[in-house]
């Protein structure tokens, strides 16, 4: 009973905030709604007993990915662009593409969940390592680091390559950039920087530079 009530509360928040992500006119508000969506989905994960996935969702998506989204949205002038889409009278080319993709995703989800519910033999659930008195994290680690270790490591390598690729693509040497050398700064002595001079009154001094 209580479980059902909480499920409906969290899923309602998730769906409403997902709609608000696309509808709200302020881009930064969109990102905040996205964060709310992530948080309510991680609550749903915790409710079905997948506490590890829920926490990882919070740490990775909310704690890191959404912060980067916020950065990008605040720094670039995306807000103006989004406003133009809303205000322009001519129909945008993005809408049909978006509709097609979302219909595809919708049917995929229906097939997977329907199949999972009504045709259990479609899925290979016999080799699951989960044991009765084992925590979620433990059983996940068992599967991930034994049977699927190669897939796991390859996906990690792909992420690394993507990151290095992005850095290489945007990295360029510019001339005339002043850089700080920590070794030079720390190893500076008094004798290099300070000079004590006798200054005669009313004469002044000329410093050569």
Q: Nearest CA to 36 among 62, 57, 63?
A: 62
DSSP at 49: T
Q: Which two tokens stand for residue 132?
A: 């009765």
Q: Are 34 and 21 in contact (CB under 8 A)?
A: yes
Dihedral of the alpha carbons of 79, 84, 85, 88, in degrees to the nearest 10: 160
Specify the residue, 11 or 69, whose C-beta has the smaller distance to other proteins: 69
Q: Which residues bind other proteins (CB under 8 A)?
A: 2, 26, 28-29, 32, 35, 51-52, 55-56, 58-59, 62-64, 67, 70-71, 74, 135-137, 180, 182
Considering beta carbons, is residue 4 or 196 the nearer one to other proteins?
4
Nearer to other proteins, 1 or 205 (CB): 1
Least separation, in Å, of the C-beta of 67 and other proteins? 6
Least distance to other proteins, CB of residue 199, Å? 31
The residues, ordered by sequence, that sit 6+ positions from 20 with a Cβ below 8 Å of its Cβ are 29, 30, 33
Residues with Cβ < 8 Å from 142, sequence gap 6 or more? Answer: 129, 134
Burial class (CB in 10 A: 0-12, 13-18, 19+), 57: buried
Question: What count of residues does the chain have?
Answer: 209
- Minimal distance, residue 63 CB to other proteins, in Å: 3
In whole angstroms, how close is the CB of 151 to other proteins at the nearest point? 21
Cα gap 40→11, rounded to integer Å: 7
């Amino acid at each position: 009973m209580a479980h059902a009530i909480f499920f409906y509360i969290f899923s309602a928040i998730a769906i409403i905030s997902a709609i608000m992500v696309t509808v709200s006119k302020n881009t930064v508000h969109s990102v905040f709604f996205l964060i709310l969506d992530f948080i309510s989905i991680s609550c749903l994960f915790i409710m079905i007993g997948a506490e590890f996935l829920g926490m990882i969702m919070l740490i990775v998506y909310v704690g890191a990915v959404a912060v980067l989204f916020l950065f990008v949205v605040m720094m670039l002038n995306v807000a103006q662009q989004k406003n133009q889409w809303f205000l322009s009278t001519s129909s945008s080319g993005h809408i049909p593409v978006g509709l097609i993709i979302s219909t595809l995703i919708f049917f995929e989800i229906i097939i997977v969940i329907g199949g999972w519910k009504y045709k259990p033999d479609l899925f290979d659930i016999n080799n699951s390592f989960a044991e009765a008195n084992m925590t979620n994290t433990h059983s996940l680690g068992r599967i991930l680091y034994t049977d699927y270790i190669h897939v796991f490591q390859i996906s990690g390598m792909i992420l690394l390559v993507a990151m290095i690729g992005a850095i290489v693509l945007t990295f360029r040497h510019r001339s005339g950039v002043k850089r700080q050398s920590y070794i030079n700064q720390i190893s500076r002595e008094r004798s290099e920087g300070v000079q004590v001079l006798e200054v005669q009154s009313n004469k002044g001094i000329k410093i050569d530079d």
